[in-house]
């Protein structure tokens, strides 16, 4: 019996599964295995990189070059541009109008993102509790809202908020007795202008958030939620302690995408300004770049503003890519 025990104890490491070759690779070895493949992955990516370089890279280079030049309407028709280097950036960064537009854009985007995330989350949770018929109707309605072009939705909402014939004023006056809203102009005041713009942007962005979070909610284990409910946890507590940790990566990525999209919003603001808004008091970064370069003919300063905006969006995008990479490595 002793001999048998000694034989077992003397078994080589490979027989007991302790040999290094029997263990799954971890750390650098695992990453090195992932990188194997030779030149083939780079060869497959080369056509896409070339297309991106032509479509995105070359215009970006031209934008940066223009931002270092005095480039106006005369240069558009063939006059040679004059290099001013960082003078355009100095003019932009010392212009109080630019800082007012930047702060206005950040505040407006922040309110829109928070509202979109809250309402989208509530709708996603509601979709998990609706029966199949109502969930289908809600899905179709949100898909129609999501598929509607921004300009079309802005025109429709502009009619609804119209001073003389808008349904919003009509409901407020006739249904709620608020006579002060008789022929009320929603777009003439900057605060109410951004209220209308926020409604349009949030209305179009909620479907994306709701669908994304609903897909994540379907992956939360039911047994974990049932166990928490049996322990006495209410709905909000279950969401905070169980659902949110499960969906934290989805919440983070969705919020970052919303921030990027809302910071560069253009169509809704520009269309509402044409309907009745005051441009000088309601410009956001996207519209301000258009007004400076295309409408104003100052492509040098417009290019500098565009580059500053691109750096801001790129910083957020880099954070987004880092978060996605972290989630893939887990």
CA of residue 56 relative to chain centroid, distance: 19
pTM of the full structure: 0.81
Closest CA to 302 of 101, 78, 52: 101
Least-confidence region, from 72-81, 198-207, 256-265? 72-81
Closest CA to 309 of 280, 286, 276, 279: 286
CATH number, span 88-329: 1.10.3720.10
| CB-based contact 161:170 (threshold 8 Å) | no
Task: State the CB neighbour count (10 A cutoff) for residue 202.
Answer: 22
- Cα atoms in the Cβ-side hemisphere of radius 13 Å centred on 266: 8
CA of residue 55 relative to chain centroid, distance: 22
Segment 70-79 shows an average pLDDT of: 86
Closest CA to 239 of 231, 247, 249: 247
Of the two residues 14 and 40, the one the predictor is more confident about is 40
pLDDT band at 31 (very low <50, low <70, confident <90, very high): low
């Amino acid at each position: 019996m002793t001999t048998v025990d000694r034989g077992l104890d003397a078994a080589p490491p490979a027989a007991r599964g302790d040999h290094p070759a029997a263990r799954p690779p971890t750390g650098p070895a695992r990453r090195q295995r992932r990188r194997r493949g030779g030149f083939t992955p780079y060869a497959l990516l080369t056509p896409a990189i070339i297309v991106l370089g032509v479509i995105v890279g070359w215009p970006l280079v031209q934008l940066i070059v223009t931002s270092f030049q005095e480039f106006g309407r005369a240069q558009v028709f063939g006059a040679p541009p004059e290099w001013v280097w960082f003078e355009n950036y100095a003019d932009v960064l010392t212009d109080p109008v630019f800082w007012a537009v930047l702060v206005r854009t950040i505040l407006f985007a922040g309110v829109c993102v928070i509202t979109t995330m809250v309402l989208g989350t509530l709708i996603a949770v509601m979709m998990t509790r609706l029966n199949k018929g109502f969930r289908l109707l809600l899905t179709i309605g949100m898909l129609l809202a999501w598929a509607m072009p921004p300009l079309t939705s802005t025109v429709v909402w502009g009619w609804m908020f119209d001073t003389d014939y808008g349904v919003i004023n009509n409901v407020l006056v006739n249904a709620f007795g608020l006579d002060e809203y008789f022929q009320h102009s929603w777009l003439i005041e900057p605060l109410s202008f951004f209220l209308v713009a926020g409604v349009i942007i949030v209305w179009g962005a909620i479907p994306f958030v709701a669908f994304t979070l609903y897909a994540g909610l379907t992956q939360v284990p039911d047994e974990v939620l049932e166990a928490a409910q049996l322990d006495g946890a209410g709905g909000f507590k279950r969401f905070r302690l169980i659902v949110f940790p499960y969906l934290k990566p989805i919440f983070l990525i969705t919020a970052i995408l919303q921030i990027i999209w809302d910071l560069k919003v253009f169509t809704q603001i520009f269309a509402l300004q044409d309907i009745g808004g005051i441009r000088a008091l309601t410009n956001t970064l996207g519209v301000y770049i258009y007004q400076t370069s295309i409408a104003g003919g100052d492509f040098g300063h417009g290019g500098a503003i565009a580059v500053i905006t691109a750096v801001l969006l790129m910083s957020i995008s880099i954070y987004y890519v880092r978060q996605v990479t972290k989630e893939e490595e887990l």
